[in-house]
Amino acid sequence: MPALVETAVVRRHDPSSGDWAEVRSDGRRIVVASGGTGNRLDPGRRVRRSGWEIRRIGDQLELLSTWPVPELVTHRIGEHVAQLGDDVARAGGTPDQDLAAVTDAVAALLDEGGPAGPAPLDALLWARAYPLLRVPIEQGAHLDAVPVALDQVLRAADARRAARRAFGRVTRPLVRALATSLLPAPDGRVPFEPALLALMASPWCEPEQLTELLGRQPHRPGAVAFDVGEVDRARSMFEGVSSRRIATRLGRALTEPDGLRTLATDLATWVPPSSEPRPGPARPARAPAAVLAPPARTDVPLRHPPALQAVDGLEVGHRRLVLPRTADELVEWGAVLDNCLGGFRHAVAAERTHVLGVVVGGRLRWAVEVTRAGVLRQFEGAGNRQAPEHVAQPVLAALRSHGIVRADGRRGYSLMAPR
């Protein structure tokens, strides 16, 4: 087997700032990396800031983040392409020109036959990774990320196969409704919410009811990001409920102004009913009562470590750090930020993790999760959007100076979902 030859597609370095960005290809994969250079001990040392790969596996395309941890990130193609453009610009390159070179390299990797032409890099990657998005992209859809819960559905070759994957049954109206629900709105946003809510209802509703759900336009697309956890949680919550009531409840969630946010709050606060003991001979307990401890209460004042208490109310520029008083307050935070912070309340009450808020002008703008080991896991705002670095870095510096954060473990995508 002949050796693979790696070629440089893009190589940029700004000596004044030390920023660098490079893209390499060996015919099987495309490797992207960026970072900075120099410190007081070794001015020529390269320090990586991000790294990811574009891979072709059979007919599938995948993005793999290689920094700071290995992670499959195909569902965040738009974010990574936008970040590459920013990295190239910081390193002194020309984003349009350099991204066009990367696009041609990707087209060669995918056997698309020569230069990709005017198609943007992100559109080429989206269409190859998720065939069900090809028509929306051709109609001008702009995507940053797609819901992980729809990953396998969107990878189907056509709407019929997607309907079978999603709902386990196929009718012509259902197939047409699924394909139509993914067409972009006038602002270019793809409303994924009808498909996600149809997934929630699919075990309990008939194709006609699912078709009706898919035909509804969400009042405010993108207001809430439902993840795999919310879909599974909804299916459990709706067990035993009549299909008509489920369809009505989810239909209102799509069309009412605060419907999606209310649904997200309901999912976060729902507690599964305890199973009733069945009649029969008594059995010995499997574990002592002390081992089977009940969940931590969430309506009592939280206990925060001294280091966290020291930053409660700390001013960082024009931003202020705050701590939740009770774990149930996280449900309110989740409603303000349009995410599922309420699902963290049991973990926070049990001190398995810590959450802080960042307030601007008296309003909560971002939430921060820090593990007990001092790893910053999340720094996100409304709709699970990452905080920009000019916001995150000063806060991160303050938390480091107080010994709260020891490492930055952010992975760059939403984790604000029930655990």
What pLDDT is attached to residue 414? 36
Residues 320-374 pLDDT 10s: 999 999 988 888 898 888 777 877 888 888 888 899 999 998 899 999 999 887 8
Residue pair 392/308 in contact by the 8 Å Cβ criterion: no
What pLDDT is attached to residue 296? 60
Tell me the CA distances in angstroms from 70 to 20, 377, 409, one per residue in order.
21, 15, 12
Residue 136, token pair as written in the block = 């929306």
* Helices 172-181, 207-214: inter-axial angle, 10-degree rounding: 20
Q: How confident is the model at residue 39 (pLDDT cuts 50, 70, 90)?
A: low
Residue 118: Cβ within 10 Å count: 8
What pLDDT is attached to residue 111? 81
Q: How confident is the model at residue 300 (pLDDT cuts 50, 70, 90)?
A: confident
Query: CB under 8 Å to 145, separation ≥6 — which residues?
Result: 75, 76, 77, 78, 79, 413
Vertex 300 angle, CA 322 and 226, to 5°: 65
For every residue of the chain, which 3-state class applies, written as one string?
CCCCCCEEEEEEECCCCCCEEEEEECCCEEEEEEEEECCCCCCCCEEEEEEEEEEEECCEEEEEEEECCCEECHHHHHHHHHHHHHHHHHCCCCHHHHHHHHHHHHHHHCCCCCCCCCCCHHHHHHHHHCHHHHHHHHCCCCCCCCCHHHHHHHCCCCHHHHHHHHHCCCCHHHHHHHHHHCCCCCCCCCCCHHHHHHHHHCCCCCHHHHHHHHCCCCCCCCCCCCCHHHHHHHHHHCCCCCHHHHHHHHHHHHHCCCHHHHHHHHHHHCCCCCCCCCCCCCCCCCCCCCCCCCCCCCCCECCCCHHHHHHCCCEECCEEEECCCECCHHHHHHHHHCCCHHHHHHHHHCCCEEEEEEEECCEEEEEEEEECCCEEEEEECHHHCECCHHHHHHHHHHHHHCCCCCEECCCCCCCCCCC
What pLDDT is attached to residue 274? 53
Intervals of CATH 3.40.630 along the chain: 306-408
Name the pTM for this structure. Answer: 0.67
Residues 369-403 pLDDT 10s: 998 878 888 898 887 788 887 888 889 889 989 99
CA 14, CA 41: separation in Å to the nearest integer? 20
What pLDDT is attached to residue 37? 85
CA 86, CA 94: separation in Å to the nearest integer? 10
Q: Which of 251, 168, 162 is nearest to 213 (CA)?
A: 251
What pLDDT is attached to residue 118? 59
The alpha carbon of 335 is separated from its chain's Cα centroid by a whole number of angstroms, namely: 17
Architecture of domain 306-408: 3-Layer(aba) Sandwich (3.40)
Are β-strands 60-67 and 363-371 bridged in parallel, bridged antiparallel, or unpaired? unpaired
What pLDDT is attached to residue 298? 67
Residue 254, token pair as written in the block = 């799509």
Lowest mean pLDDT among 168-172, 272-276, 306-310: 272-276
Are β-strands 407-408 and 375-380 bridged in parallel, bridged antiparallel, or unpaired? parallel
Tell me what the pLDDT averaged over the chain comes to. 85
Lowest mean pLDDT among 124-133, 185-194, 219-228: 219-228
Lowest mean pLDDT among 40-49, 54-63, 332-341: 40-49
CA 215, CA 165: separation in Å to the nearest integer? 19
Q: How confident is the model at residue 17 (pLDDT cuts 50, 70, 90)?
A: confident
Residue 114 has pLDDT above 70, yes or no: no
Q: Percentage of residues in the chain with pLDDT exceeding 70?
A: 87
CA 377, CA 99: separation in Å to the nearest integer? 30
Residue pair 51/83 in contact by the 8 Å Cβ criterion: no
